[in-house]
């Protein structure tokens, strides 16, 4: 693999890890307390299940990208020229490609679910007697909004990483014959 592509992949993985960590910490640590009708109410990310799921998925995606970052660093400094020709290397590249796809789609899905729940928190729903949370818990809603923006930035970074994974995988195949490995 080209050394410059490995450096770009490592940089993108580091950025994605940091942004995913920021997302998980922002959501996980944001709380707000308020006295509503003589009742002390504390709101956290656990009150909306989509936000709770987003914290866990962002944390797992950050750990995954951190592990992949260590793989990038390891393969940069300890790569072997014969490694690219083995079946073990090919299966490893396929696994990395598929895992990158799963992680980016899972993160995108949980971010979208969090947006849907956040819209319900902003607008409320009279049919279900759900109150508008953001009228009462403004700081919490701004923190959730910032975390969702960070989550989508992380999705964009991870989507660009899937392009690099696809390049690393499909450069091993011949362009003339469908899914046939290049002979080197």
Can you read off the two tokens belonging to residue 45? 């990310």
pLDDT reading at 73 higher than 60: yes
In sequence order, what are the residues at sequence separation of 6 or more whose Cβ sits closer than 8 angstroms to the Cβ of residue 39?
Answer: none
Share of the chain above pLDDT 90, in %: 35
Give the tens place of pLDDT for each residue, 159-175: 999 998 888 887 777 66
- 59 vs 54: CA distance, rounded Å: 8
Residues 6+ apart with CB under 8 A from 119: none
The pLDDT assigned to 81 comes to 52
Q: Is the pTM of this model over 0.95?
A: no
Q: pLDDT at position 49, please?
A: 83
Q: For residue range 59-72, list pLDDT tens digits in order.
A: 999 999 999 998 87
Is 128 a residue whose pLDDT tops 50? no
pLDDT computed for residue 140 by the predictor: 80
Locate 67 and state its tokens.
């592990």
pLDDT of residue 160: 94
Arithmetic mean of pLDDT over the chain: 80
Residue 130's pLDDT band (boundaries 50, 70, 90)? Answer: low
Lowest average pLDDT, out of 19-23, 48-52, 77-81, 114-118, goes to 77-81
Among 123, 117, 106, smallest CA distance to 27 is for 117
Q: Per-residue pLDDT for 106 more than 90?
A: yes
Determine the pLDDT at residue 34: 63
Is residue 117 predicted with pLDDT exceeding 70? yes
């Amino acid at each position: 693999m080209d050394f410059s592509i490995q450096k770009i992949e490592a940089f993108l993985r580091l950025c994605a890890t940091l942004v995913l960590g920021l997302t998980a910490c922002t959501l996980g640590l944001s709380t707000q307390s308020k006295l509503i009708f003589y009742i002390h109410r504390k709101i956290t990310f656990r009150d909306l299940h989509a936000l709770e799921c987003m914290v866990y998925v962002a944390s797992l995606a950050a750990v995954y990208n951190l592990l992949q970052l260590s793989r990038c660093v390891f393969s940069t400094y300890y790569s072997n020229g014969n490694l690219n020709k083995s079946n073990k290397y090919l299966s490893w590249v396929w696994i990395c490609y598929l895992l990158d796809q799963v992680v980016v789609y899972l993160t995108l899905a949980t971010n979208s679910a969090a947006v849907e729940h956040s819209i319900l928190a902003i607008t409320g729903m009279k049919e279900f007697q759900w109150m508008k949370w953001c009228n009462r818990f403004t700081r919490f809603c701004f923190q959730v909004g910032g975390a969702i923006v960070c989550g989508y930035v992380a999705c964009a970074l991870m989507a660009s990483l899937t392009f690099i994974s696809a390049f690393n995988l499909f450069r091993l195949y011949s362009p003339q014959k469908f899914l046939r490995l290049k002979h080197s």
